[in-house]
Amino acid sequence: MASATQDVPSDVPSDVQGDGSSGTPARSKVNLPVFIGSAVIIIAFTLWAWLAPDTAYTTLESVFLWIGANLGWYYILTAGTVVVFVLIVAFSRVGRTKMGPDHSTPKYNLFTWTAMLFAAGIGVDLMFFAISGPATNLTTAPGNEAGSSGATEMAVLWTLFHYGIPGWAMYALMGMAFGLFAYRYHLPLSIRSALYPIIGKRAQGATGDGIEIAAVIGTIFGIATSLGIGVVFLNYGLEWLFDIPQGTGAQIGLIVLAVIVVIFSSVSGVDKGIRRLAELNVVFAVVLLLYVLIAGETTYLLNALVKNIGDFAAFFPSMLFDTFAYNPPEGQWLEWWTLFFWAWWIAWAPFVGLFLARISRGRTLRQFVVGTLIIPFGFILLWISIFGNGAIWEFLSGNTDFITNAVESPEASYYLLLEQYPGATFTIGLSVLTGLLFYITSADSGALVMSNFTSKSLSASDDGAPWLRVFWALATGALTLAVLMLDGVYTLQMATVIIGLPFSVVMYLLMIGVWRALRMERYNRDSREATLPWMVSERSQGSGDRGGMSWRRRLARGMHFPSAKQATEFIETVAAPAVEDVATELKEQGAEVSCERGLVPDTDIPHIDLHVYFGEQTEFKYQVYPVAYSVPSFARSMRPTEETYYRVETFSATGSEGHDLMGYTREQVIADVLDSYERHLTFLTMSEEGGQSGSLHAGSNIPDDWDHDRTNGS
């Protein structure tokens, strides 16, 4: 949602824009069905709002009220279901599954990753709602009389709820779908990839196009809502500082500014500079937060913060599924707040989910979900509690006009609070600068994401063409202005609730797709356990090399750290011929097989890659691939002239199997291939018996180069 994340992708270092293998993203071809379909819908809606504003407003209002009256329960159920789903994934056995190959490590260390997630909790709309939200809840929230002690305690809590765990759970769901299917199953970095476990290769057809059109439409309305909020928020701040009047002229100027920045960024390649501004913005936001804490009633604010934490933990479960069936709130509070926020989070989910997946490659689903739910919300909790309780303090001190003005002019509420403290001119100036930078980086990164969504990406590192970014910047600007002209931010809120409804269906499809993929992961693990007794029995019946190696040879193997030359010799004379023997035999028995030798990039060291195909079912992959490691410090005395040694590892479609073939005989390598093949056959049998058919890798490009998945992150 823009509120917490509108600038997120701009915070990412340039190499996160790819898949980790390159810092320079490739350019994708335009996906014409998705681009034309989404562009036509957006242009048609924008023209409708421009040419028939009264009809457009009346229609939007009618649909909005109908959804609130009849489908509010559905939005609330969806948000609650997503929260439960991601928690089950995180804390069940499948939570150990990585968003990447089994051998992959995180690209970013824990501190850097945490900092990126922390930055994801900041945005101009958080500044907008941190005070207007509690002020409105103080006067209109359900369950308590306006201005009562109960309303005072719940005012900040409801805002935390709307900005909290449910929304970030939606981002986590989208992020795990992107991360699993792109980085683990080697499918394009797109929403349609998550449909493979449901409809197979048809995800590449019209059904997949329809899903991606829905994602683009939802994303552009989510971004337009954020930009609209940013426009009215900044317009008031500019009037306070420079007497620039609020109105259409200033709003057009701000929208044009955002479009110009995107165009300049697209054609000049200054993305890194914009990212640096976004990083500086995080510092500005923290400075403002600390200033209000110190300049305000510090003890009261800290007491309120601790109470908010405890109350949120206590009341969250009951708030999550509360449809107010027995005590409906007055004045469409549910529609304007809970339903709007859930729809807004849904609309922003593809945008932010893509960012979260890119920075989290190599992490387990458990790490990803826990980090996504806790770290950004931690900053949101601090911001809303300190600023929101600052507003509540004004009310408790007798300044009731402050609350009235904050409710009637939400775009002014933030500035009204800063006026209560010394140095208002400086803090308001810094706030306008901070909000402006968030606003600009949001427009720039939003255009980039939408250009990616309307392109054909062959890999996770591909980006859309610059002209696509420019088009989507223009389209977003025109849409924002057209809807603002109807009735300001309120019209954007109504449109978001409406657009979020069809896209919410995609959230359910993602849960089904992710769960089926993780069930396949479970079958894969179970197949290893099921075949282990047979493999052990087979070994015990053998003798010589077939039964195992002598203890002296085993000891020598453990103390040996092979060079590149030795790894090359082993692969060429032992491992590769053994794999080719198995491939030949499989072909003679009627299997569809491919077996190819190749070279590790930038070296002369060979590898060999065996694939066995099973139609629509998951293919078998057995690759012998040399991996370079640093010689351990305890072993340096054995190889004083070498700092690197090689393990000859085996790789499946989901990464390294973790064991080293170096020192095996030809018969032992053949036995290892057969062990893996028999385990795969058991996996296919278990999958079919469990009602799970189809391949997670259908149409994917399983890599034969794995080095880029090994980084120094942790």
pLDDT tens for each residue of 481-520:
998 888 888 898 999 999 999 999 999 999 999 999 998 8
What tokens were used for 56?
């457009």
Q: What single-letter DSSP state applies at residue 573?
A: I
Q: What single-letter DSSP state applies at residue 148?
A: S
CA dihedral 207, 209, 211, 215 (to 10 degrees): 180
Low-confidence ranges of the chain (pLDDT < 50): 2-24, 537-538, 540-547, 699, 712, 714
Q: Which CATH architecture has domain 36-522?
A: Up-down Bundle (1.20)
Q: Within 10 Å of residue 603's Cβ, how many Cβ atoms?
A: 15
Residue in the structure block whose two tokens are 């004004």: 394
602/637 Cα distance (integer angstroms): 28
The predicted structure's pLDDT at residue 632: 78
The predicted structure's pLDDT at residue 708: 61
This prediction has a pTM of 0.84
Which residues on adjacent β-strands are paired with residue 612?
Answer: 593, 620
466/460 Cα distance (integer angstroms): 17
Residue in the structure block whose two tokens are 């701009």: 10
Furthest CA-CA distance within the chain = 91
Backbone angles phi, psi at 658, to 5 degrees: 95, -5
The predicted structure's pLDDT at residue 452: 87
8/284 Cα distance (integer angstroms): 16
Looking at the chain, the number of H-run helices and the number of E-run strands are 26, 7
The predicted structure's pLDDT at residue 248: 86
Which residues on adjacent β-strands are paired with residue 597?
Answer: 608
Q: Where are the alpha helices (DSSP H) in 13-162?
A: 32-51, 53-70, 72-91, 110-119, 124-140, 149-162
Residues 6+ apart with CB under 8 A from 47: none
Q: What is the pLDDT of residues 236-290, one digit of tens each?
A: 999 999 998 988 899 999 999 888 887 877 666 555 555 666 677 788 999 999 9
Q: Residue 294 half-sphere exposure, CB side, CA atoms within 13 Å? A: 8
Q: Where are the alpha helices (DSSP H) in 193-270?
A: 196-199, 206-242, 248-268
Contact 703, 184 (CB under 8 A): no
Which residues on adjacent β-strands are paired with residue 607?
Answer: 598
> What is the b/e burial string over 22-42, where b = at least 16 CB atoms within 10 angstroms of the residue's CB?
eeebeebebbebbbebbbeeb
What does each C-alpha distance from 645 to 371, 560, 563, 611, 634 come to in angstroms? 35, 9, 5, 27, 14
What does each C-alpha distance from 675 to 522, 529, 530, 587, 678 come to in angstroms? 18, 12, 12, 18, 5
Residues 6+ apart with CB under 8 A from 690: 519, 523
Q: Within 10 Å of residue 488's Cβ, how many Cβ atoms?
A: 16
The predicted structure's pLDDT at residue 550: 65
The predicted structure's pLDDT at residue 596: 93
The predicted structure's pLDDT at residue 570: 92
The predicted structure's pLDDT at residue 698: 53
**How far, rounded to the nearest angstrom, does the alpha carbon of residue 710 sit from its chain's CA centroid?**
21
Contact 365, 95 (CB under 8 A): yes
What does each C-alpha distance from 296 to 19, 370, 421 come to in angstroms? 45, 33, 7
Contact 26, 459 (CB under 8 A): yes
What tokens were used for 649?
């590892």
Q: Spell out the domain ranges in the chain.
A: 36-522, 556-709
58/27 Cα distance (integer angstroms): 42
Which amino acid is it at 165? Answer: I
The predicted structure's pLDDT at residue 46: 95
